[in-house]
Structure 1
């Protein structure tokens, strides 16, 4: 297979577009490695600026599975199935509804809705106070974990952004950092695996999306690994506020701009369409 043939079965072939996408997923993964979440939030706030929203959604969904499993492995002993049960139950109800929304809802609503979700998370992040830790094992899931799981499942199916509701729930619990990460990444494994199965059954796991995701995954691994190494050296409060400010700008742009034709760069969008027509 020649390089040209390889390009033809990928989602896009423009070198500038590749550079932009790989940079975005690397930075998003780097942020995830530092603060424990944020890959989908950052990626979905930036990628729709140059890609079709649904294409960006699929890339994020397919590229996050293996990195999440890899991170969870380090915290597997802190993951409590009883603690996760409520969130898992809620997500299994919310995810199919989100997938249905992904296929039916107007693209403009998806873009603006995602921007609204990110903006709400930004506002919550600025006013959030860390909980006081409680010694001993974490408490079992409550009705709120089930509700958070449902919301995360719905967002995972519709926008690829599963993190905000479950993170808001978990970060308010009196858990250690390891207990928090064991819960979060245990939940993310279920969400990410279930979502790609649902997308495959619905016919979205096509060769261009899968091949492009395979190329992206190493950059996700590299970014997360670097983030875990650099994270302890960065002031988490300062970094978090800078991140929230950047996300606020991106979310406001998505809310105002929606999915109008000005959202993707015309030249890059034309390249995407040409690649599609060449298949």
Structure 2
């Protein structure tokens, strides 16, 4: 148990840095590290609390940049998506859903590289509904609701603060729902809360460092980093799905 606290602090620091820089990715960074020293029923709620805390701080800093119209459309699409996800969950295996989602993300990344999003194009309401619906569906099925919304947002003609703020607010709303459900199921234990409290200083330090680094790069570099993270997420999902299928 000796490496438990150092690993949790490292996960919190990296999660804060990535979220502070890009506006997403905290759970994707923290969870694999936490799972090396914690069981799933402890690591997942701890990661969820870390993500919600990060998003609270980020929303407080960036609330003036939130694109409220698209946000409402995303939420409107997510609600029926969650209902559909509950239905899909009965039959479709997680590996298949992750594989399809990963492939779609990689296609979107490739499209963005070949044909970058125009800087004056309005945010498409139809595709916002589609992204929200896919996010709700996949979120219920696999717990990874971020990629569809991130892939959609990366194609919008927003500046980096607008992109970070809108993604952060969306993930804050959905994260609060997730933590509420976890609490009602009894997985937010005293150990989870204790580790979370110990991780807060590292978490806040990571957010500050990530935000400072984000301010030092230009818009093109920022979008390149976002697309790179998306590519890694998509590749990871396809790899996990393939590995499960071959077992």
Structure 2 vs 1, CA of residues 214 and 159 (structure 1 numbering), >3 Å: closer, same or farther?
Answer: farther
In structure 2, distance between residues paired with 1:179 and 1:55: 33
In structure 2, distance between residues paired with 1:156 and 1:35: 20
Aligned to 1:82: 69
Structure 2 vs 1, CA of residues 201 and 45 (structure 1 numbering), >3 Å: closer, same or farther?
Answer: same
Kindly indicate whether the alpha-carbon contact (under 8 Å) linking 1:171 and 1:180 is maintained by their aligned counterparts in 2.
Answer: yes
Q: Which moved more, 1:64-73 or 1:109-118?
A: 109-118
In structure 2, distance between residues paired with 1:154 and 1:256: 21
2:211 to 218, 228, 236: 228
2:175 to 188, 192, 211: 192
Unmatched 5+ stretches in structure 2? none
Matched residues, number: 242
Unmatched 5+ stretches in structure 1? 1-13, 259-279
Structure whose alpha-carbon radius of gyration is higher: 1
Q: Which moved more, 1:240-249 or 1:202-211?
A: 240-249
Query: 5 Å matches for 1:1-279?
Result: 14-95=1-82, 110=94, 117=101, 121-122=105-106, 124-129=108-113, 130-134=116-120, 139=123, 142-233=125-216, 235-236=221-222, 239=225, 243=229, 250-251=236-237, 254-255=240-241, 258=244
Structure 2 vs 1, CA of residues 244 and 183 (structure 1 numbering), >3 Å: closer, same or farther?
Answer: closer
- Normalization by structure 1: what TM-score? 0.68
In structure 2, distance between residues paired with 1:80 and 1:244: 21
- Normalization by structure 2: what TM-score? 0.75
In structure 1, distance between residues paired with 2:211 and 2:68: 25
Kindly indicate whether the alpha-carbon contact (under 8 Å) linking 2:78 and 2:134 is maintained by their aligned counterparts in 1.
Answer: yes
Residue deviations 1:183-228, cap 9 Å, x none?
2122122111122112222333222223323333332222121111
Kindly indicate whether the alpha-carbon contact (under 8 Å) linking 1:64 and 1:217 is maintained by their aligned counterparts in 2.
Answer: no
Kindly indicate whether the alpha-carbon contact (under 8 Å) linking 1:157 and 1:195 is maintained by their aligned counterparts in 2.
Answer: no
Kindly indicate whether the alpha-carbon contact (under 8 Å) linking 2:51 and 2:175 is maintained by their aligned counterparts in 1.
Answer: yes
CA RMSD of the aligned region, Å?
3.8
Structure 2 vs 1, CA of residues 253 and 180 (structure 1 numbering), >3 Å: closer, same or farther?
Answer: closer
Q: Tell me by how many angstroms 1:233 deviates.
A: 3.7
In structure 1, distance between residues paired with 2:86 and 2:94: 12
Kindly indicate whether the alpha-carbon contact (under 8 Å) linking 1:94 and 1:152 is maintained by their aligned counterparts in 2.
Answer: yes
